[in-house]
Homo-oligomer: A and B are copies of this chain.
């Protein structure tokens, strides 16, 4: 089924296709009285905006957001906030090949198998262009959880990881890769450029940390904070894995190595380690929330790949046209947005039950 809403109390619904007139989000359940204008949202859209360097798709979209409802005199009213972004650069091109043959790794075949029918222009609803609506909604969420600082970055591209010793949060905004390690950013320039020129693509790992959230947010058992984060991140295009804290590394550890001892502190316990990534029993502990998200390489490559047509004939397809050589890069603001959206919802859920 199509299910385009997320959240339980702070909820959002997105709509729109890659090549339709516009796309947008409706944010419902937002508390009243929160300062909000387009200028609070635009910077996050700008961070995700395509066409800003040669390392992302060359589609040129201004991604200007408009607030159509839910705000009065510069503050949220508590009623639904409708956000709209017009599509400007839907290049009119010949879609006959993509209409006919399924691009491997893309949603083409799966959508046809499900719906018997699809909007094939630029990937339609399954295009990563939809994530602009998430980022806009996420900016509203950030206003609501302003006590939390959410920072994501690219940790590895094509298997080439940053050196944790070089980590510098200030560096993230200094390069087109959201890379906190200046040396790695330099290496990635060549890495991604080579892939781009070769018509190839690369996977990436995005890491995210959220600090400032209190202990106690979360909703055992089936809306656990980690469960909601996993759902949120896995719903992003091209994502194939999610880890909280040490993630898969914890599976190789002993209980002693994985322990997060506590000592008394002024504001509740001080933790001596954070293998858990800030969540225990599905509830925040007050430590930094840490997670990692695996993005597969963009499925659009120039190398011809065997495939089938809608009519079941054998063929080959090479995906020309505009796309990101490493879709994980622009995944950074999207991961941040999804984390913000989950935290906003959990904050309100916690307030509902625990006052």
Contacts and interface: CB of A to CB of B under 8 A. Distances in A.
A277 interface: yes
A-side interface mostly: mixed
Contacts of A22: 68-69, 82
A353 B77 contact: no
A352 B346 CA distance: 10
A284 B353 contact: no
A6 interface: yes
A303 interface: yes
A177 interface: no
B240 A106 contact: no
Interface string A117-151: 11101001110001000000000000000000000
B109 A285 contact: yes
A314 interface: yes
B354 A31 contact: yes
Contacts of A14: 80, 221
A6 to B, nearest CB: 4
A274 to B, nearest CB: 11
22 contacts: A1-B9, A1-B350, A3-B28, A3-B222, A13-B13, A15-B70, A17-B69, A26-B26, A31-B353, A102-B269, A104-B261, A114-B218, A126-B220, A159-B251, A201-B254, A203-B251, A221-B235, A222-B231, A241-B241, A251-B296, A259-B299, A263-B308
Given A1-B29, A69-B20, A296-B251, A115 B78 contact: yes
A307 interface: yes
B250 A294 contact: yes
A21 B66 CA distance: 10
Contact of A4 (B28, B125, B294): B28
Given A222-B235, A234-B226, A262 B308 contact: yes
A303 to B, nearest CB: 5
Contacts of A201: 254-255
A339 interface: no
Contacts of A21: 66, 68
Contacts of A162: none
A109 B226 contact: no
Interface in A32-72: 32-33, 66, 68-70, 72
A258 to B, nearest CB: 5
Contacts of A126: 220, 281
Contacts of A260: 104-105
B255 A349 contact: no
Nearest to A231: B231
A272 B16 CA distance: 33
